[in-house]
Structure 1
Amino acid sequence: MSSGIIFINSAFVFYTIGVWSEKIQGELKRVHLILFWFGIICDALGTRAMGELSKTHVEGVNQAISQYVQIPSNFHSLTGIVALSLMLLHACWATIIIVNKKDIWTRKFHRYSLIVWILWLIPFVSGAVFHFM
């Protein structure tokens, strides 16, 4: 199993536990913040490892097949960049809330948190689906 798969799945576990435990508990805690940051770190490391693996794989595929692979790959790359950016904003906002104890922002944060998680699932699932196509 590649390190990319391990990191991406670790990102899924950390981020999912962070988002859902924050949602269920109804309050943002330091432990959630730590889980968000671990999720981002694992996602970034997994993305990098998958990118290296993808380069090697695409070089070995002939030109006719790579034309068909390109569309899903572009979709996955675009949604991945958007999702990783949203995760970063999410973790930064959580950090600001925790550090400054901005309880008023926490209410909006709860809604945003779940939306970011759902949007993060798009590249997570598309990566698996397009890999098996």
Structure 2
Amino acid sequence: MSILLIWAIICMTLALTFYTIGVFAERKMGTLLKWHCAVFWLGFLCDSTGTTIMGQLSGNTFSFSLHGITGLIALLLMAFHAIWATVILIKRDDQAKKTFHKFSIVVWSVWLIPYIVGLFIGMF
């Protein structure tokens, strides 16, 4: 196993960890807080880094496969999610802070699809 692959796996696992903590802590607390937003950005950063490394390993070509398409959608959703969380906090929109968790769980669920597909691709 190459060192790049190990780093990619670490980055993707950190993305899963950060995102899961952020999404479920926000849901449990019932409101969006600054630290949730920071954790969303960390998850996005780790996912972007892991995706970049895996792209280098695969020859920097986009794959029109279930993994490639869902991975792109998930990465774009994560970016939008983190940006939207930031905007809500800057605007101090209390109503949006209380309902944001509904969108968070959808983004997290969509993100799990390419993560799980990637695990299966790596195993078989």
| Residues 1:93 and 2:84 aligned together | yes
Deviation (angstroms), 1:107: 3.6
Which range moves more in the overlay, 1-10 or 102-111? 102-111
Q: Pick from 23, 38, 42: which aligns with 1:38?
A: 42
Aligned position for 1:128? 119
How far apart are 1:75 and its partner, in Å?
1.0
Superposed counterparts of 1:3-18, under 5 Å: 3-18=7-22
Please state how far the C-alpha of 1:81 moved relative to its aligned partner.
0.4
Shift of 1:55: 2.7
Say how many residue pairs are matched: 119
**Structure 2 counterpart of 1:61:** none
Counterpart AA for 1:117 = W
TM-score normalised according to structure 2 size: 0.89
Instruction: Give the Å deviation of 1:51.
Output: 1.2
Matched, 1:48 2:65: no
Match of residue 110 from structure 1: 101
**Richer in helix (by share):** 1
SS at structure 1 position matched to 2:32: coil
Does the CA contact (< 8 Å) of 2:31 and 2:100 recur in 1?
Answer: no
Report the TM-score, using the length of structure 1 for normalisation.
0.83
Offset, 1:132? 1.5
Identity across the alignment (%): 41
Code of the residue aligned with 1:47 in structure 2: it is: T
CA contact (8 A) 2:67 2:117 kept: yes
Q: CA RMSD in A?
A: 1.8
